[in-house]
Amino acid sequence: MKKIITTLLLSFNLIHAFAQKETKLTTCLFTEYNKTIYDRTSGNNPWGIGLGLQTFFSNKTKFKPAVELTGDIYLADDKVLRLNIDGTIPVQYNDVRGMINLFAGCAFYPVPNIYISFIGGPAFINGQTLLGVKPSFGFHFSKSKKWTGKISFINIFNRDKRAKEDFDSIGLAIGVKLF
């Protein structure tokens, strides 16, 4: 009886060990801080905080497709009215209260724990859909890649359509691997 139980347990462990396969997706949950470096109304939105999900699609190359969904809120405000370039009062108040980005692109892993990514796509600000890009430098704190961090530059093109000015910010993020 002891041999049968031992054989069954050993067989179960071997089947389980050989049945493991590599996950095709790696998803991390990030918390981030964004510092506005250029915007027409930067005094009304000097910094923001938010959450993000980033997914890498695993393959055998150093280039990995990536998708990122982030949502940020900008809480600080200096309560100063900014006029349009021609001196008129804006029809809608142009400060950034929140921003949602849905970006896709590619990440390059020169070494296993460091990556450089370039992603872009739609950014949703104040009811407008704008084009944005986000190059990033990321790193993993350990070989298990459980904790990760990244530094990003975010550029939203033509946020102020009259002046044709962009919105630029620097982002710092810390994340944890979900699966």
Find the CATH number of the domain harbouring 51.
2.40.160.20
Report pLDDT for 14. 43
For residue 140, tell me if it sits in a domain.
Answer: yes
Give me 148's structure tokens: 């990760």
Q: Amino acid identity of 4?
A: I
Residues in the chain: 179
Euclidean distance between CA atoms 146 and 176, whole angstroms: 6
pLDDT value, residue 3: 56
Tens digits of pLDDT across the chain (179 residues)? 555 555 544 544 444 444 455 558 889 999 999 999 987 777 778 899 999 999 999 888 899 999 999 999 988 776 666 676 777 766 555 678 889 999 999 999 999 899 999 999 999 988 889 999 999 999 999 888 899 999 999 999 988 776 678 889 999 999 999 98
User: Does any domain span residue 49?
Assistant: yes
pLDDT of residue 144: 83
User: pTM of this prediction?
Assistant: 0.78
For residue 6, being part of any structural domain is answered with: no
CA gyration radius for the chain? 22
Classify residue 9: in a domain, yes or no: no
**What was the pLDDT predicted at 38?**
86
* pLDDT of amino acid 130: 93
Give a yes or no: residue 99 inside a domain: yes
Contact 26, 55 (CB under 8 A): yes
Please give the Cα distance from 8 to 13 (Å, whole number).
Answer: 9
Domain range for residue 162? Answer: 24-177
Give residue 90's pLDDT.
Answer: 64
d(CA 98, CA 96): 6
- Classify residue 69: in a domain, yes or no: yes
Q: How high is the pLDDT of residue 159?
A: 81
- State the pLDDT at residue 153: 97
Confidence (pLDDT) at 16: 46
- What pLDDT score was predicted for residue 175? 95
Number of domains in the chain: 1
**Contact at 8 Å (CB) between 38 and 158?**
no
Amino acid at 31: T
Q: What is the Cα–Cα distance from 107 to 68, expressed in whole angstroms? A: 11
pLDDT score recorded for residue 39: 79
C-alpha triplet 169, 175, 177: angle, nearest 5°: 145
